[in-house]
Chain A
Amino acid sequence: MTTLLMLAALILFLLGVYGLLTNKHLIKLVICFNIMEAAVLIFLVALGHRQGAGVPIVRPEGGPYVDPLPHALALTAIVIGASLTAMMLSYIIKLYQRYRTVDVDRLKRLRG
């Protein structure tokens, strides 16, 4: 199960990289970043997985529980990723107001 998830994460991440390198549309670039972020999150969540384990709360009957630390990591990463996405989208709004385009090629002013 863990291996499968990690493989999925790797494939998703590479898909995201591919999209980031080939797309010219600003919002699609943000979506590609989100796909890569989702891949890393899946990886982190899969890390904590234990076969047949319960939630990480100490219960009277004991028993194994999943590793909570990667999940804390993933939660932090989700918050950071959400704020980064919000920031990217707000930049795109500002850029669109000034350039009237979301195409990277027509937007470029800084080169060389």
Chain B
Amino acid sequence: MTHLPILPIVIPLLAVPAVFFGHRFELVDGRKVLALVSALGLAVFAGLAVALARSGTLPYAVGGWPFGRGILLIADPLSLLMLGMVQLIFLAAVLFPFPREPEARAAYCTFLCLLQAGLNGMILTADLFNLYVALEITSIVSYALVAYPKNRESLEAGFKYLLLGSVGSLLILWGIGLVYASTGSLNLAHLSRVFGELPHPVRSAVLALLFTGFAMKFALVPFHTWKPDAYGSAPAPVSAILAGVGSKVPLYCLLRIVSLLFAGMFRAGPGGFGSLLVWAGFASIAVGHFMALRQVRLGRLLAYSSVAHIGYIVVALGSASADSVAAGLFHLVNHGILKAGLFLLTGCLVTLRGSDRLDAMRGMSRDAPGLVALFALFSLGMVGVPPVNGFVSKWAVLTSVMRAGHPVQAAAVAAGGLVALLYYARVVGLMCLPLRAGPTAPAGPALQALRWDARVSLALLAVFCVALFFLGGPALRLLSGVSGIVVAPQDYVQAILAGAGP
């Protein structure tokens, strides 16, 4: 039996004491350990990709306990996709210079390590209870990271996020309890066999609890209110991680649960829950873009744009055809990379200007032409203009949602692009305007050369953006194989029920 599936959880967890004590006693820079952890994660990702190419699914019984007794993990192409995303975004974010004074860094690095372990755990777990535990690790650490600057805004944002997120967790926990009450099992594969035979009211109650709980975690309208505060106030690398993968992994968990427990949704095409998802996504697109138009601070603008893009993904997943699920997953990847890049860039711009207000961004094209060019590139991706990856996935979402019979939502996807063009063009335009003359104008400080590691991280994300545009076709074909797993998860179920290893 190969031990690959447990490594993404064990490596960051083992690194936690190394990071904390290493920093505390000034033995080693925590960032280096974090970068090493992410690089190892990418290596494990590659190893898993090779193993999965041979066997399709890779179940892993922790400690060798027999099926149904111990903790079960499972890696399949869908979880592999999310794993790759998490390691990539983490690598990009930890290559970035850290905020604030060094003595608080020990906590910061430790939290980042735990966050990575939690996210990987959420991706790999094969039962609902461990999903809840991993979700809580992830959430608690995110609350702490959002409030990390400890200024007024970040504390307020952190408290709001903490309260709403905890209520979401409670709903998820109740949903899980209800599942156990009605089936006597928490194993996802086993549940996929027995859950369909339960009476309709029970299934609806479980779905309502889990959907509301997870929607609070990935900020679907009307549960999005914490998001602009949290992303607008957190340190840039934290915003990049939370926007890039922190809000995508709960979405993945919901997708996995729906695919296994409510398989009828995908088999029967658009049904009750599908149309709920599609309309919730529609509301997210509308509210996200509308609110983004009115923002005067860059961080909040990007956060509202995130709300809208979560809407695109949810519309695509809710359309519940194999094509639209593939398109939604592709947009999930693309948006994660683009938004992480934008938040990291915002971090650079804010250190230059000391503020993330839009009017402080004037004259940026003179002070930092490279950063503005990159910002424009990522913005094009968010709007959905070639030659950036956002175009391919947005087009795929648009056409597949149209084909699935949701013309209103498809129109919203298209119109959303236009609105996004308005506000991103405003931001980039402001950066290109000359500084306002007068005593109030901030003196353009000399641009400190970006450190090499920050350059590497931005270049990495930019290369992925352009490459995924040119490789958009093959990527979509690859993802349609993954979406096949969502629509028909027999392999996943078989692999676990067949005995889950020795």
Complex: how many Å from CA A37 to CA B156? Answer: 22
Residue of A nearest to B128 (CB): A73
Q: Is the CB of A110 within 8 A of B228?
A: yes
In the assembled complex, which residues on chain A have CB atoms less than 8 Å from the CB atom of B147? Answer: 91, 94
Q: Does B459 contact A (CB under 8 A)?
A: no
B177 touches A33 (CB 8 A): no
Stretch at the interface among B159-167, B234-242, B253-261: B159-167
Is A77 at the interface (CB under 8 A from chain B)?
Answer: yes
* With known contacts A47-B180, A87-B140, A36–B291 Cβ distance under 8 A: no
Q: A84 contacts B177, CB within 8 Å?
A: no
A73-B180 in contact (CB<8A):
yes
Cα A83 to Cα B169 in complex, Å, equals 13
A45 to chain B, nearest CB (A): 10
Decide: A87 near B144, CB < 8 A? Known: A94-B150, A110-B156, A110-B233: yes
Asked whether, in the complex, the Cβ of A91 is within 8 Å of the Cβ of B158, the reply is yes
Whether the Cβ atoms of B140 and A112 lie closer than 8 Å is no
Q: B-side binding surface: helix, strand, loop or mixed?
A: helix
Partner of A36, one of B133, B143, B167, B181: B167
A112/B156 contact (C-beta < 8 A), A73-B177, A80-B136, A84-B166 known? no
Q: Is B294 an interface residue (CB 8 A)?
A: yes
Interface bits B121-163 vs A (CB < 8 Å: 1, else 0): 0000000010011001000100110010010110111111011
Checking B152, B174, B295 against A109 with a beta-carbon cut-off of 8 angstroms, the contacting residue is B152
Task: Give complex CA distance A99, B151 in Å.
Answer: 11
Residues of A within 8 A of B295 (CB): 112
- Given A26-B159, A73-B129, are A44 and B177 neighbors across the interface (CB < 8 Å)? yes
Residue contact B233 to A112, C-beta cutoff 8 Å: no
- Shortest distance from the beta carbon of B351 to any chain A beta carbon, whole Å: 21
A87, B152: Cβ atoms closer than 8 Å: no
Interface residues of A in 67-81 (CB under 8 A from B): 69-70, 73, 76-77, 80
Q: Once bound together, how far apart are the Cα atoms of A83 and B186, in whole Å?
A: 24
Report yes or no: B181 in contact with A110, Cβ–Cβ below 8 A. Answer: no
B173 within 8 A of A: yes
Give the docked Cα–Cα distance between A33 and B181 (Å).
Answer: 23
Instruction: Judge if B384 is at the interface, Cβ distance under 8 Å.
Output: no
In the complex with contacts A95-B155, A110-B156, A76-B133 CB distance below 8 A: yes
User: In the assembled complex, which residues on chain A have CB atoms less than 8 Å from the CB atom of B156?
Assistant: 95, 107-110
Given that A91-B155, A110-B232 are known contacts, is A43 also in contact with B177, CB under 8 Å in the complex?
yes
The reply to whether A43 and B174 form a contact with Cβ atoms under 8 Å apart is: yes
Residue in A13, A73, A108 whose Cβ sees the most chain B Cβ within 10 Å: A73
Q: Which residues of B contact A (CB under 8 A)?
A: 129, 132-133, 136, 140, 143-144, 147, 150, 152-153, 155-160, 162-163, 166-167, 169-170, 173-174, 176-177, 180-181, 186, 228-229, 232-233, 291, 294-295, 300
Q: Which 7 A-B pairs have the closest CB atoms?
A: A110-B229, A91-B159, A80-B136, A47-B181, A84-B166, A44-B177, A40-B174
Using A36-B170, A44-B173 as known contacts, list a sample of 6 further A-B pairs with CB atoms less than 8 Å apart, ordered by residue number in A: A33-B170, A69-B186, A70-B181, A80-B140, A84-B162, A87-B143
What are 8 A-B pairs at a CB distance below 8 A? A37-B170, A69-B180, A73-B173, A76-B129, A95-B155, A109-B156, A110-B160, A110-B229
Interface residues of A, Cβ cutoff 8 Å to B: 13, 20, 26, 29-30, 33, 36-37, 40, 43-44, 47, 69-70, 73, 76-77, 80, 83-84, 87-88, 91-92, 94-95, 98-99, 107-110, 112
